[in-house]
Copies of this chain bind each other. A is one copy, B any other.
Amino acid sequence: MNPELLLSRIRVVLCRPSHPGNIGAAARAMKTMGLSRLYLVEPKQFPDPEADTRATGAVDVLANATVVRSLGEALAGASFAVALSARQRDIGPVLGAPRETVARLLAEAAEGEVALVFGNETVGLSNEEILHCQAAVTIPTNPDFSSLNLGSAVQVLCYECRMAAFAGLPPTAQLTTPFASPAATNDEVEGLYTHLERVMTDTGFFNPEQPGRLLPKLRRLFGRVRLERDEINILRGILASTQAKTGHGRKN
């Protein structure tokens, strides 16, 4: 299924958010990853200028947000919901890892509407709210400081959604680039080695009678780099300029 369409089926539900700045940050996080459907369950302050500021160019997500009075309302019509939780509850779905849980969310999104559900900044989701969800996810954190910001948590899970939705598609043009100049051929690279060896011999840095491992080491170095033709020309230009300076150029 079209990745954009999949992402458009994911609701982000914030339950009782305290800080309007976090609502704005969540909207921005969603939009950067191609999600757009924000649900707010009893936000403390909304709309609010601080939300708009933090949303920057994602104010349309705020403008289109749906404000409701319960999680049940936010999930109306959705067939699968994942709760974010920092800890396993006695009762409720088993906490999964982000990547696996998001993969499942997207598989469900192919069938219908789905949701990612986030709790209040301080107290998280209630046990009752978690039980509205079919799955739960935790974002692994430093055990000594697990205080993930709400906007950041939304960012991480929306990022995983985008990565999963576009997985398997050929990477976009910006992820692979052609060489700036054509790759050097084997004989061009050999020409560089010969030239380098001559200069090193002329300066006395290399002694052909006691070669040691110098030449293999240089081959190992330049062999790793996948030289381009232009680069061969630059390197040989540098070598030729030292030869001209030392009067060895004519030997070339």
Task: Name A's B-contacting residues (CB within 8 A).
Answer: 25, 28-29, 31-34, 56-58, 87-88, 90-91, 94-99, 138-142, 145-149, 151-152, 155-156, 159, 162-163, 166, 171-172, 174-177, 180, 196, 199-200, 202-205, 214, 217-218, 220-222, 224-227, 230-231, 234, 237-238, 241-242, 244-246
Contacts and interface: CB of A to CB of B under 8 A. Distances in A.
B174 A138 contact: yes
A35 to B, nearest CB: 9
Contact of A156 (B155, B230, B234): B155
B244 A25 contact: no
Q: Which of A97, A152, A155, A225 counts the most chain B CB atoms within 10 A? A: A152
Contacts of A97: 171, 175
B199 A238 contact: yes
Contacts of A180: 90-91, 220
A152 B32 contact: yes
5 contacts: A28-B152, A32-B146, A34-B141, A180-B220, A242-B245
Contacts of A99: 163
A248 to B, nearest CB: 8
Contacts of A88: 174, 177
Copies of this protein in the complex = 2
A94 B179 CA distance: 9
A246 B242 contact: yes
A162 B140 contact: yes
Given A33-B142, A224-B226, A242 B203 contact: yes
Contacts of A33: 141-142
A108 to B, nearest CB: 14
Contacts of A29: 149, 152
A242 B199 contact: yes
